[in-house]
Structure 1
Amino acid sequence: MSPIPKPLPPGTRLRHEVAAGDAIPLIGIYDTFSAGIAGRHFQGLFVSGFSFAASHYGLPDIGFIAWPDMLAFVQRLRVVLPHHHIVVDIDDGYCDAEVACHVVRQLARIGASAVVLEDQLRPRQCGHLDGKQVMELEAYLDKLRKVLACRGDMLVVARTDATDESEALRRAEAFAGAGADAILVEAVKSLSVLAEVKRRVGLPLVFNQIAGGKSPPATLTELRAAGVSLVNYSTPCLFAAQAAIDASMRDLLAADGRLPAVAPGQANVASCNRLLHQNLAGLPLPGI
């Protein structure tokens, strides 16, 4: 009887899919419940720092995230989503290189597929807002090389928040030279920039999309043509929840506190409970 082959580690699976040449969407989630919903439709999930700071602390994404909270969150995700790609935004590694390496080693043990390490100085900003400052290049490269040395099978996406295009390109080339697995130039204002980054570094590219951000909205087909391998949708779940909850509260006030009748397709206690029981069993990949 032939032995049952062992499943590939998460990072290795993601590497194989990236090598296949498709543009893989990664849906930004803000908690385990939103991950369960998004995971019914997409096999890639992005642990967005913006969404995490908002949902766990109710605060802006300017450096409040504590790394133990992030590790605990990713561990909960991996339990209910054992088969999905989970890409984790770790900001600057939460301080110095030693902390960054500890976090990366723990995420590798938990089963994260990839991490995104940025070159922003603290106090940091959302990548699509003004006021960003970046680290000295050599200081970031030192941290990047140490993180790469302890990543296990995970991918390490090196992200630059440089706002000057020539400086962003210079940093992307340096990141590639240091051995990064993929490159993210944040808040690019034109897809032509992505094509130029691809030409210079030859590595998989990551593109970050956020509603109201500085980058132009683009389809997966357009991004694939520009050489993008991973597409982060940072906040669709968070923003959808914000709008839906606000509308629901307004409706409840307007109806003098009477709950509306449940319309076809609308969430209710039965549909919510079904989702939670799917999570209990470990949500399968879409289509399985």
Structure 2
Amino acid sequence: MSRQQELALSPGGRLRQLLATGKTLICPGVYDGFSARMALTVGFECLYMTGAGVSMSRIGMPDIGLVTQTEMVDTAGMIANIDPKTPLIADADTGYGTAVNVARTVERYITVGVAGFHLEDQVVTKRCGHLNGKECVGLSEYLSRIKAAVETRERRKSDIVIIARTDSLATHGLDEALYRLKEAVKVGADVVFLEAITTKAQLETYCDAFRGTGVATLYNRVQGSHGYKITPKEAEQYGLGIMLYPASCLVPAYTGITSALQKLRMGVEEERSERVAPLEIFRVCGMDEIQEREQGVNDWARAFKKDSE
């Protein structure tokens, strides 16, 4: 494929192309422009916008269903367009209401350039998938959300990737959770996402249930949680299509910033801060590209002025 053809691919098309390789797609959890810029600089092929991260960074609140659709869409659009060639998978929570709200959420995600999103079966006042006290809606309501997303995608002639997530493993058990995911695939979901897997047996059963079906499986590797821990290499062996690391930026930010602030409070400057010049950070955030564009505009203006004289 030529560079031109690659650039012509839609966000969803680029994500589908990555999934078609059969390799596990490792996606770091980003939540603002700075974390996204750092992940892009390191060279990840796909990013994941974590709802928990957006909730904490944008409104300073825990992930218990308080962040709004507007805040999620605005953040997703900003991240997705820093480098449109790198697809972004975004958390869409419950869709933020009824099936009508789901349709609007999907419509807006398509518009701002999101490549894929996951939609879950918790009640609207949801909680982080790794907290206790979760509640799930009935199967028909869950499927109505997936169906609304699929119909919106068809109406918009989009290829955005729809990821069906279920949190029912904790509330209804493994058999019901797998049944829900299979039913979601029947109504048009592209990828399945079993949240909060805690044992090797659960993971193996989940992967076996969809092996050879053409449906990609997603694993959410939440660092510090009670979830079953596997490495990227093991994810490949299980045949997982996507592996999310939602806390990959949150945890270092929390530990690093807290440590630096505690030292500053005691009157001690953080030594590592002296080793990073402001220009280095500006470059991560696109300073070189901006200066190149600025230089190009200035060169054009000088040439135009000379030709006009």
Normalising by structure 2, what TM-score?
0.84
Aligned residues of 1:192 and 1:226 also touching (Cα < 8 A): no
Is 1:180 aligned to 2:180, yes or no? no
Q: Cα–Cα, structure 1 residues 97 and 279, in superposed 2: closer, same or farther, change >3 Å?
A: farther
1:276 aligned partner: 285
Is 1:153 aligned to 2:159, yes or no? yes
2:120 aligned partner: 118
CA–CA separation in structure 1 for the residues paired with 2:143 and 2:3: 43
Aligned residues of 2:94 and 2:126 also touching (Cα < 8 A): no
Normalising by structure 1, what TM-score?
0.90
Matches within 5 A, 1:191-230: 191-201=200-210, 202=213, 203-230=215-242
Secondary structure, aligned partner of 1:228: coil
CA–CA separation in structure 1 for the residues paired with 2:164 and 2:190: 8
Residues 137-184 of structure 1: per-residue CA shift (max 9 Å, x gap): 011101211101222211000000011112212212211222210000
CA–CA separation in structure 2 for the residues paired with 1:133 and 1:20: 36
Structure 2 gaps, min length 5: 291-309
Amino acid at match of 1:38: A
Count of aligned pairs between the two proteins: 277
Shift of 1:258: 4.8
Q: Cα–Cα, structure 1 residues 240 and 43, in superposed 2: closer, same or farther, change >3 Å?
A: same
CA–CA separation in structure 1 for the residues paired with 2:272 and 2:175: 56
Runs of 4+ in 1 over 6 A off after TM superposition: none
Amino acid at match of 1:225: Q
Q: Cα–Cα, structure 1 residues 267 and 211, in superposed 2: closer, same or farther, change >3 Å?
A: same
1:286 aligned partner: none
CA–CA separation in structure 2 for the residues paired with 1:262 and 1:51: 24
Give the greater-gyration-radius structure (CA).
Answer: 2
1:134 aligned partner: 136
Aligned residues of 1:48 and 1:89 also touching (Cα < 8 A): yes
Aligned residues of 1:194 and 1:227 also touching (Cα < 8 A): no
Q: Cα–Cα, structure 1 residues 261 and 181, in superposed 2: closer, same or farther, change >3 Å?
A: closer
Percent identity between matched residues is 27
Matches within 5 A, 1:18-167: 18-41=19-42, 42-151=44-153, 152-162=158-168, 163=170, 164-167=173-176
Residues 29-75 of structure 1: per-residue CA shift (max 9 Å, x gap): 12111110111121211111111100001111111111111111112
Q: Cα–Cα, structure 1 residues 25 and 279, in superposed 2: closer, same or farther, change >3 Å?
A: farther
CA–CA separation in structure 1 for the residues paired with 2:288 and 2:64: 31
Query: Higher relative contact order by CA 8 Å / sep ≥ 6: 1 or 2?
Result: 1
Matches within 5 A, 1:12-23: 12-23=13-24
CA–CA separation in structure 2 for the residues paired with 1:258 and 1:87: 38
Q: Cα–Cα, structure 1 residues 134 and 259, in superposed 2: closer, same or farther, change >3 Å?
A: closer
Shift of 1:90: 0.7
Aligned residues of 2:118 and 2:163 also touching (Cα < 8 A): yes
Secondary structure, aligned partner of 1:115: strand
Deviates more, 1:108-117 or 1:190-199: 190-199
Matches within 5 A, 1:259-274: 260=271, 266-274=275-283
When the two chains are superposed, the root-mean-square deviation of aligned CA atoms in Å is 2.1
Aligned residues of 2:260 and 2:270 also touching (Cα < 8 A): no
Q: Cα–Cα, structure 1 residues 4 and 159, in superposed 2: closer, same or farther, change >3 Å?
A: closer
Given candidates 238, 261, 271, the residue that maps to 1:249 is: 261
CA–CA separation in structure 1 for the residues paired with 2:277 and 2:222: 29
Deviates more, 1:171-180 or 1:27-36: 171-180
Deviates more, 1:169-178 or 1:153-162: 169-178
Structure 1 gaps, min length 5: 282-288
Amino acid at match of 1:226: Y
CA–CA separation in structure 1 for the residues paired with 2:220 and 2:149: 22
Shift of 1:108: 1.1
Secondary structure, aligned partner of 2:28: strand
Shift of 1:3: 11
Q: Cα–Cα, structure 1 residues 7 and 245, in superposed 2: closer, same or farther, change >3 Å?
A: same
2:304 aligned partner: none
Shift of 1:279: 8.6
CA–CA separation in structure 2 for the residues paired with 1:22 and 1:195: 18
CA–CA separation in structure 1 for the residues paired with 2:130 and 2:273: 38
